[in-house]
Chain A
Amino acid sequence: MSNRNNRKILVLGIDGMDQRITKKLLDEGKLPNIRKYLERGSSREELDMLGAVPTITPPCWTTLATGAYPGTHGITCYWRQSPNSLDAVVYNMDSRNCTAEQIWNVTSEAGMKTLVWHWPGSSWPPTSDSPKLSVVDGTQPGSVNMGIAQMDWEKIIFASKSQKELTYLPRVEKPAGVGCIITDLDALIPNEDDEMMEIWWGDAARKGGEIRTYCHGLDDSELIIGARVAYDVVTSPITEAAKWANAPEGAFEFTILISGGTVRRPALILRNASGVYDTVQIFRNRKSEEPIVTLKQGEMVSYIIDDATKNGETKKSCRSYKLLELKPDGSELRLWISNALDISNDMLWHPQTLLAEVISNVGAVPPVSLIGGEDEELAREIFLPSWETYNKWQADSLKYLIDNGGYEAVFSHLHNVDCAGHQFWHLAKNLEPWSYTDENAYRKLIDKVYIQTDRYLGEFLKYLDEGWTIFIVSDHGLLVGENVPPDIGEYGGLNIGVMQELGYTVMKKDDNGNQIDEVDWEKTRAVQIRSNYVYINLKGRDAHGIVDPADKYDLEGQIISDLYNYREPRTGKRVIGIAMRNRDSRVLGLGSPECGDIFFTIDEGYNRLHGDGLTTARGTYDTSVTPVFIAAGSGIKQHHTTDRTVRQVDVAPTISTLLGVRVTKQCEGAPIYQIIEEE
């Protein structure tokens, strides 16, 4: 089949972009590039689109790609239910789990050169052998190569003339509410190096290994874990420079330890013509003629290639640096170093030569920071600028490939909004568990994230004049919670709290009567696992089933009733939104065996950032979980708003209609005819 309309399609996916706050900031004049897209295109008045449920990244991106609901395409949450254990999940960002056809297979089959860029829903590995199809990563939502190329973690170096010893503390966790100043060092708590990247997205996970996460309450929730500030800490003395091949007069030196503390990088502190110490230079060693990097206070420097060593393997890796603070007399400083990304790891690039092409023409993948959270200074000074750099790299990479690679269909995803959301969105309302944070400071950061996203989107405006149709879409929004969420509905694993209180889930105890992390399957009638699913522990189906199939229907009814009657202890209010049997959940596009025996949502007002409620849920500070939809360019009505309800399942068939290619095989949506220009 040919591409009969000679159009080109660019999908700009922004993970976590919320229609409601986008509209607010747009009306305030803060998103000028989105305004330009709207002038050249169509949307609903409020920019909204109905998302699939669960409002979770892989299901929703897969719905956007296939035009099918999660019950049909089979990607029903961040994780997949383990086929062997009711209390375990397995990796789910694997295209081989997807039972619906992706639109990029259709476009490549139609002869269009197609690029799928970091799409975290059923894109990797490629499911078409078409030579027209290129795919980059898609195995995790964060940033390109983040799951497989990490060589060394983020660090903060505290150097001082009063510091006596050089020390290295891995993955230090800063206690809640503590600021980030040099005198706080004693409050830092060393933490186990949990290698979360490996556990969630590493080789073992991708091969289907079971992951057991027991969520007992708020402390196990992502709101708390995601906002934790943990980095490697290096403390170093500052002394007069000695033994250097080339150290200017008056220079001081300090030491940085990288690669898990096993490799040294010496650094000089230099003064300017006025005698003020204002520059730091980091060297490979004291005999080096040239520094690896030169830093001035407040400027982030990226794309620095240095060796990083992990498990005995040394790789050229890309890092960023920022000098957070340097006293004018050179006596104290704080310096951030990003994680290190191996620049040669092309295992998630198809074809693999694409990575080298991007590196030589644009640059190596710049690492994004994953620290910030409750430390507002780090969120502002490190997290956001690191994403700004990454966004520009991604825009430049996509533009390079579009301009030089002959691509005609591009499906891309950017994660800055969602990543920021999981770090600090909830801090924009000053609830009791994080009462020491400043909600106004975090509200300003939310605005900055959207303004940053608008800059990214602006990079692609030129393609509207080059015959492209551009879609701006998201999977879900993130809301700022009105209340602390209940102990049910956490997407990461098994939710014990409410189900234990209701008597359905029973945990074992040790000899001293203390509860342990092991389900007592002989007494457990049902469990709640992942974002929205309850499973009956059924005889003949589940490994340790105790519920007779004849009793299943009545038990489901009882659980649904108990969930509705449950009252949240802090407020005394109902917190369950809707609850229904698996068969009934087909009305929401669910209803497959992967969708539990009962589907439920958390009611508005008690939601987490996203995932546990309906796609229409709203939060404080004009936030919502509702995704965004804007289309512009060739074939799209200009400056047009439609009353037509736009659903995520409609995006793929609309693309098919615009391009004149067939619809995806399992498509359940319909083209948004109301925004398409009459030809």
Chain B
Amino acid sequence: MRSLDTEAFDDLIYDEEKNALILFHRNGCGVCEEVVTTLEPLEEDYPDVVFGEVDVETENDLFSRFGLNGVPQVILFSEGNPVSTLSGRKDDEDYENALESLIGE
């Protein structure tokens, strides 16, 4: 997963309008680590989706822009727009369903 600062996030999501799955996380957050473990194997299955991670402690303005109340949060983007949000730790199938729906758009 690509680590993204705010500038790289803006470039990727809004200027390049990539299909993307972004994990908002915080260092030392155990649940966040579990989500990473779940997402990493999926990255190979979805080559047309950019997998990225944003550390909300260093990129606090993104955290507040998106009105996030906590981590982990996974937001999927298509053509510069958020299309779905998965809060907390979800089942593997939930992430897969969201990715399927993303590439189907």
Q: Which residues of A come within 8 Å of B, CB atoms?
A: 165-168, 170, 243, 257, 259-264, 266, 284-287, 307, 309, 312, 314
Contacts and interface: CB of A to CB of B under 8 A. Distances in A.
Interface stretch (B33-41, B49-57, B59-67, B87-95): B59-67
Nearest to A284: B80
A312 B83 contact: yes
A262 B14 contact: no
A314 B15 contact: no
B11 interface: yes
Contacts, number: 53
Contacts of B84: 312
A62 B77 CA distance: 47
B17 interface: yes
B81 A264 contact: no
Interface of B: 10-11, 13-17, 61, 64-67, 79-85
B17 A314 contact: no
Contacts of A284: 80
B79 to A, nearest CB: 8
Contacts of B66: 261-262
A243 B67 contact: no
Contact of A170 (B67, B80, B83): B67
A263 to B, nearest CB: 6
Contacts of B85: 312
B61 A263 contact: no
A176 B12 CA distance: 41
A287 B10 CA distance: 12
Nearest to A168: B65
Given A264-B80, A312-B85, A287 B15 contact: yes
B67 A309 contact: no
Contacts of B10: 264
Contact of A243 (B11, B65, B80): B11
Contacts of A260: 67
A266 B84 CA distance: 23
A263 B78 CA distance: 11
A309 B79 CA distance: 11
B61 A166 contact: yes
B59 to A, nearest CB: 11
Nearest to B82: A262
A243 B83 contact: no
Contact of B65 (A257, A307, A312): A257
A264 B82 CA distance: 11
B83 to A, nearest CB: 5
B64 A309 contact: no
B23 to A, nearest CB: 16
A307 B15 contact: no
Contacts of A285: 14-15, 17, 80
Contacts of A312: 82-85
Contacts of A170: 67
A261 B65 contact: yes
A263 B81 contact: yes
B14 A309 contact: no
Contacts of B61: 165-167
Contacts of B81: 259, 262-263, 307, 309, 314
Given A285-B14, A285-B15, A286-B15, A309 B65 contact: no
Contacts of B11: 243
A37 B20 CA distance: 60
A612 B84 CA distance: 46
Nearest to B105: A314
Given A170-B67, A285-B17, 5 more contacts: A168-B65, A259-B82, A263-B81, A263-B82, A285-B14
Given A285-B14, A286-B15, A287-B15, A261 B80 contact: no
21 contacts: A165-B61, A167-B64, A168-B64, A243-B11, A243-B15, A257-B65, A259-B82, A260-B67, A261-B66, A262-B82, A263-B81, A264-B13, A264-B14, A266-B14, A286-B15, A287-B15, A307-B80, A309-B82, A314-B79, A314-B81, A314-B83
Contacts of B15: 243, 285-287
B65 A262 contact: yes
Contacts of A307: 79-81
Given A243-B15, A285-B17, A287-B15, A263 B64 contact: no
B16 to A, nearest CB: 8
B70 to A, nearest CB: 17
Contacts of A309: 81-83
A263 B79 CA distance: 10
A241 to B, nearest CB: 13
Contacts of B17: 285
Contacts of B64: 167-168
A168 B13 CA distance: 18
Nearest to A193: B67
A365 to B, nearest CB: 22
Contacts of A266: 14
Contacts of A262: 65-66, 81-82
A170 B83 CA distance: 20
A166 B14 CA distance: 15
Most buried by A among B64, B67, B82: B82
Most buried by B among A170, A259, A285, A286: A285
Contacts of B65: 166-168, 257, 261-262
Contacts of A165: 61
A264 to B, nearest CB: 5
Nearest to B75: A262
A380 B56 CA distance: 41
A166 B66 CA distance: 12
A261 B13 CA distance: 14
A254 to B, nearest CB: 13
Closest 4 CB pairs of A and B: A314-B81, A309-B81, A264-B14, A285-B15
A361 to B, nearest CB: 29
Contacts of B82: 259, 262-263, 309, 312
Nearest to B13: A264
A244 B83 CA distance: 26
A244 B64 CA distance: 26
A166 B64 CA distance: 10
B19 to A, nearest CB: 14
A100 B42 CA distance: 62
A110 to B, nearest CB: 49
B74 to A, nearest CB: 13
Nearest to B67: A261
Most buried by B among A260, A262, A287: A262
